[in-house]
Amino acid sequence: MQIPPSARSGEAAPDPAAPVAESAADIAVSVRGLVKRFGATTAVAGLDLTLRRGSVLALLGPNGAGKTTTIEVCTGFLRADSGEVRVLGFDPAGAPDALRARIGIMPQGGGAYPGVKAGEMLRVVAACAANPLDPAWLIDVLGLSGATRTPYKRLSGGQQQRLALACAVVGRPELVVLDEPTAGMDPQARRVVWELVSALRRDGVAVLLTTHLMEEAEALADEVVIVDHGRVVAAGSPAELTSGGDEQELRFRARTGMDVEALTAALPAGYRAAETVAGRYVVRGRIDPHVLSAITGWCAGQGALADDVQVARRSLEDVFLDLTGRELRS
Amino acid sequence: MSELFAPGTFTPAPGRGQLGRMLLAQAGTETRLALRNGEQVLLTLLIPVVLLVGLSVLRVVPLPEPRVNSVVPSVLALAVMSTAFTSQAIALGFDRRYGVIRRLAATALPRWLLVAGRLAAVLAVVVVQLVILGVVAALLGWRPDAAGLGWALLMVLLGCAAFGALGILLGGTLRAEMVLAVANLVWFVLLLGGGIVIPLDQLPAGIAAVAAALPSGALAEGLRAPLVAGTAPGIGPVLVLVAWAVVAGGVAVKAVRLR
């Protein structure tokens, strides 16, 4: 079996004497210029990302953004049309079996025999690993012990998801790849998953996940890569993406097509107004009562009511809306 | 921060499991699933047992005495077809629907072992069938010629290969509902017109010629020679089964989809 040079680095605590400089061994996943087409459709159009060991990267975007395609290229289920992909030092499409012995994958929607019990399925997956976790313990800790007699096809969506997650981590992998890990889960189950991902990160496992949930990306990820139409539209830590310095913003709804240049001019220097999508406006800058009053007053002067007025720091949802002009969950 | 997971719980220790354990886990689970699925047990055990008893006791089809000797080859051919083809195709169709093939492909389980595990599960169910049908047949007075048993076993294995390859091809390519419909229809047609219940020499000449080239007719004929006469099967049935296994297996390698 082929052993990549980085293979053992995840098993020991980082050596404090080791150079701080970024080395290839720190990188779990490296994607450069990934392009993947299906017929005339380009699912991924030149995507870059870098995931370090012991950190969590969230691919965030709406359905059809190219998240799952990217994941499937990284796990060797699809071959890239162009670009360079390295996962734990492997070319995923070239050495899928060697790679999959070192990673844990949660395919979208999970996967199990329709008639299988959760424990049976997890034991099959555990048998494929050299040093698996105890399946019975994992079933219990993920809250599935109440459903051990239920066949997979009769489990709830959230229960199926938790089994899929257990299958992804049972082999004690170096890298865990989770495609929409909390889809269909209730908030309590989602908490358990978030706690699990935090524990993976703490124990030195790299986690690559996709989500279209803002709060999930904000809560879990060290780095968020926002994708839309197969391209990266923004990347950075949640704080970097949402802060824009210390800037606040004010959002409101009003009639479409108001002159945002005129609104900007009507405000003190340093404030910027924009219409993000039709009828939705944002003003960036430090929002104080004076500016708030100036904005609503200007709208009144246009014969428009500024409705649904909100002052906030930017959320990832706002970042996405601003970058793509689309709602994340449309 | 984490109360559920003590530090170090997930410290990486990756690697592939032992091949034997992987095979055992997968094939063992698939065998248990096949044996506790009501519809599959109906197909693989109940119907063959009912036919074995019914055809031996009731004189609906003219057969030489003792009737059970002529019925056993038919019923064994049916049992192999039910398990390796129909039951396996349906299970594979729904396994794909529920994403388990992809789930297993995402583990360290090599692709060839995934296929080997399914075939091992088929063989395990066939062994269960042979034991149960053999005991029932013995109770009905079946006394096989020991000289033919080795040949019969070879034919059962060849039948498993031919029908198993066809089952994987069917279950691995069509939608689950289509697999269900086609696999059951083919089962029924081959049972009646494919040389299983009605031996080739009692079928109309045209149908008999076609049936002899089908895996059902080849397997049933190939079992009749050793089990009824205690002689080696003709080369014809052997070649037919090998050809079906090679062709269907070759197409399946290219055509089968994970989902």
Give me the pLDDT at residue A329, please: 56
Hey, is the C-beta of A141 within 8 angstroms of any chain B C-beta?
A: yes
Name the residue among A95, A103, A166 with its Cα closest to residue A129: A103
Contact across the interface for B95 and A120, Cβ inside 8 Å: no
- Tens digits of residue pLDDT in A53-86: 999 999 998 888 999 999 999 999 999 999 999 9
Mean per-residue pLDDT, B69-98: 95
- Delimit the CATH 3.30.70 region(s) of chain A: 245-313
- Delimit the CATH 3.40.50.300 region(s) of chain A: 24-241
- Tens digits of residue pLDDT in A210-246: 988 878 888 899 999 999 889 998 888 887 887 654 5
Asked whether residue A33 carries a pLDDT value surpassing 60, the answer given is yes
Asked whether residue B57 carries a pLDDT value surpassing 60, the answer given is yes
CATH code of the domain made up of A245-313: 3.30.70
Name the residue among A171, A199, A204, A197 with its Cα closest to residue A182: A197
Coil, strand or helix: which one is A310?
A: strand
Contact across the interface for A172 and B98, Cβ inside 8 Å: no
Beta-carbon contacts of residue A183 (< 8 Å; ≥ 6 apart): A108, A109, A157, A161
Give me the pLDDT at residue B127, please: 97
Asked whether residue B40 carries a pLDDT value surpassing 80, the answer given is yes
Q: Which of A157-161, A322-326, B203-207 has the lowest mean pLDDT?
A: A322-326
Option in A10, A97, A124 nearest B25 (CB) = A124
Average pLDDT, chain B: 93
Asked whether residue B186 carries a pLDDT value surpassing 80, the answer given is yes
User: Percent of chain A at pLDDT above 70?
Assistant: 89
Contact across the interface for A120 and B29, Cβ inside 8 Å: yes
Asked whether residue A17 carries a pLDDT value surpassing 70, the answer given is no
User: Percent of chain A at pLDDT above 90?
Assistant: 55
Mean per-residue pLDDT, B11-36: 96
Average pLDDT, chain A: 86
Kindly write down the DSSP assignment for every residue of A176-201, as one continuous string.
Answer: EEEESTTTT--HHHHHHHHHHHHHHH
CB proximity under 8 Å: A 81-100 to B: 97, 100
Q: Which of A21-25, A37-41, A217-221 has the lowest mean pLDDT?
A: A21-25
Mean per-residue pLDDT, B195-211: 89
- Tens digits of residue pLDDT in B103-154: 999 999 988 899 899 999 999 999 999 999 999 999 999 988 888 999 999 9
Q: pLDDT confidence of B61, banded at 50, 70, 90?
A: confident
Asked whether residue A186 carries a pLDDT value surpassing 90, the answer given is no
Mean per-residue pLDDT, A96-105: 94
What count of residues does chain A have? 330
Asked whether residue A13 carries a pLDDT value surpassing 50, the answer given is no
* CA distance to partner chain B, nearest, from residue A41 (Å): 21
CB proximity under 8 Å: B 82-111 to A: 94-95, 97-111
- Tens digits of residue pLDDT in A158-178: 899 999 999 999 999 999 999
- What topology does CATH give the domain A24-241? Rossmann fold (3.40.50)
Measured CA angle at A169 (ends A230, A84), to 5 deg: 35
- Using a cut of 0.80, tell me whether the model's pTM lies above it: yes
